[in-house]
Structure 1
Amino acid sequence: MSYSDNHRPAAEATISHMRRIRSEDEFDRPVFKWVGGKFSALPIIFEHLPHGKRLIEPFVGGGAVFTNAGFKSNLLNDINNDLINFYQTLQREGHSLITLAYRFFQDYNSADAFLNVRNAFNNGAYDSLHHAAAFLYLNRHCFNGVTRYNRKGEFNVGYGKQKSPHFPLAEMEAFLADDISKYSEFVSGDFAGVIEAAGNDDVIFCDPPYEPLPDTTGFTNYSGHSFRFEDQQRLVSLLVDAHRRGAKIVITNSGAPNIRELYVGNGFKVYPMPSRRSVSCKASTRMIANDIIATLN
């Protein structure tokens, strides 16, 4: 995989707006509803995210950070091919995708229609444009926006029974109108590829699958790929190497003791990041978790 300099303008990113502490209603919402998404944590993240010429996200997920960070060059990776196909299709065929996705939302808002779309999606019946529209539809119509796959790589989340799921028109139009699309390169693969591409004055923001807390099972394979502590260790090793090449590092994770020890032992500064857990279907049962954000600058 090669990463050209086409997405690296000579002028450095002007991201002074990140230095203001903003409330949630001042940020642009991402296109996807995403488990572990960082929209509500953006004020804390932007306190720690430094300036740089390019933002690299090895785990882009729902995209709340790059959508609001204001970098003039973004290298964005995720192991979820369906997610990256959506972003790439939105770049290439933005208005066609918006129109088609809207038809999905209008025509298929029932349990039976959801299952039909999910089956076609899993069976490879769609071209890339229809696949992208179906992925957005499934994300917004499934239970609580949980994007999860079985061992066969099939999307297996059930119907969410929402009366009128949100269609993210404004979010997609902002992606196109704000030139985020122009400044972004999307790739799909293991996190190592984009981290190894990092160099001087790049900023890497990592939001990996969180390490389970002691005495909990956790769940770290939403994309059909498990993420073990050995992967956390490999990730940190790659980040330390990137830092030696001049990159600046910001990473989030759970407050698990082995994660704190791993980060501190490799020179990271660790800060608290209270976060709302949002998988529960009832707002009253959603908990505040003692997550962390760590930097290597």
Structure 2
Amino acid sequence: MNKTILKWAGSKAKVMAQLNQYLPAGARLVEPFAGSCAVMMNTDYPAYLIADINPDLINLYQQVKEFEKPFTALVAGIFAQNGSEEDYRRIRNEFNHEASLPLLYRAAYFLYLNRHGYRGLCRYNRKGDFNTPYEKQAKPHLPVDEIRAFAAKAQRATFICADFTETLAQVQAGDVVYCDPPYAGAFTQYHTDAFNDGKQRQLAQLLSSSISAGVSVVASNSDTPLVQELYAGFDRHVISVARSIGVAAGKGKKASEIVAVSRVVAVSEVAA
């Protein structure tokens, strides 16, 4: 398993052995919900289109792709000098309110906040301010090896800040789409906009349209009646995953997730 730069609630890093069983070959992997990029880091597609609605996340990935060495040096200095809750609050305040903060610094601060914040939670208030609380740790991990590995893999990737509708509008025949949206029935206030049931339905409809255009689709979501309904036309597999946040969270606590896999569409059906 290749580890990721970020801690991330709901990361697929620990279930990639299972998930890879359902991801088919293709010319390009398209991810409308980037998250920690665990799927990109643990697959081997010729190319990647990685998208997310969160500009801070995409900026981090773009800065690492283009400026790996200066980014790593900057992050190392920030980690070495700032470890207390007071430091965390000060950096979070600057991250939220310093409009002139250079993009490289903004990316470094985002990584610092992620690694010193509560359990990989990425949360913003309605004003757009990052508001994940501090988590006291013996020694937050400085992911130097992960940054290096990501920078190398990222040379195959295009990163865009876009919502899922914009991203899915760019898919082409031969692509593989993997969707890991904010889960139905769980915490949905990702970035500044809630991912409600209406968006779950819209996403499922767009994914079905993509299949008709000759695109392979795999989607993860919580095992709920709504998800069972939305992906009734898919082959559905249930996997067990660990939870670090929410009602089911805790050491050894597991929850069921659905991996919905598009059924093979015949050439004649696509042409029709």
Q: TM-score, normalised by structure 2?
A: 0.93
The SS at the match of 1:40 is helix
AA paired with 2:68?
G
Q: 1:235 aligns with which of 169, 178, 203?
A: 203
C-alpha change, 1:76 and 1:284, in structure 2 (3 Å) is: closer
- What amino acid does structure 2 have at the position aligned with 1:189? A
Q: Give the whole-Å Cα distance in 1 for the aligned partners of 2:18 and 2:197.
A: 25
User: What's the offset of the Cα at 1:124?
Assistant: 2.8
Determine if the alignment matches structure 1 residue 254 to structure 2 residue 222. Answer: yes
Partner Cα distance (1:97, 1:287) in 2: 36
**In 1, Cα distance between the equivalents of 2:249 and 2:210?**
39
Shift of 1:197: 1.1
Greater Cα offset, 116-125 or 51-60: 116-125
Tell me what 1:277 maps to: 243
1:88-112 per-position Cα deviation (integer Å, ceiling 9, x unaligned): 1111111111110111110111111
Residue of structure 2 aligned with 1:146, choices 121, 124, 134: 121
Residue 247 of structure 1, CA deviation: 0.5
Distance 2:166 2:252 in 1: 35
Asked if 1:116 is matched to 2:96, the reply is no
Partners of 1:52 and 1:149 in 2: how far apart? 35
Question: How many corresponding residue pairs?
Answer: 262
Q: Which amino acid aligns with 2:234?
A: F
CA-CA distance at 1:251 after TM superposition: 0.2
**In the superposition, relative to structure 1, how do residues 237 and 283 fare at CA in structure 2: closer, same or farther (>3 Å)?**
closer
Q: Which 4+ stretches in 1 moved above 4 angstroms?
A: 282-286
Q: Distance in 1 between matches of 2:132 and 2:207?
A: 33
1:50 aligns to 2:32 (yes or no): no
Deviation at 1:285, TM superposition (A): 4.3
Percentage identity across paired residues of the two chains: 37
Q: Which residue of 1 aligns with 2:77?
A: 103
Q: Distance in 2 between matches of 1:287 and 1:261?
A: 26
Is contact 1:209-1:227 (8 Å) kept?
Answer: yes
SS of the aligned residue for 2:134 comes to coil
Residue 146 of structure 2 corresponds to: 171
Quick one: distance in 1 between partners of 2:130 and 2:105? 16
Determine if the alignment matches structure 1 residue 61 to structure 2 residue 35.
yes
What displacement does 1:222 show? 2.5
Rounded to whole Å, the distance in 2 between the matches of 1:189 and 1:287 is 33
Distance 2:119 2:207 in 1: 32
CA gap 1:168/1:200 in 2 versus in 1, 3 angstroms: same
Does the 8 Å CA contact 2:243/2:249 hold for their aligned counterparts? no
What is the aligned counterpart of 2:157 among 149, 172, 184? 184
Structure 2 unaligned segments of length 5 or more: list them. 265-272
- For residue 283 of structure 1, report the CA deviation from its aligned partner: 8.0
Residue 195 of structure 1 and its aligned partner are, at CA, apart by 1.0
The residue aligned with 2:253 is 287
Render the CA deviation track for 1:118-157: whole Å, top value 9, x for unaligned. 0000003421000000000000001112110111110111
1:279 is displaced (CA, Å) by 2.1
Alignment gaps of 5+ in structure 1: 1-26, 213-217
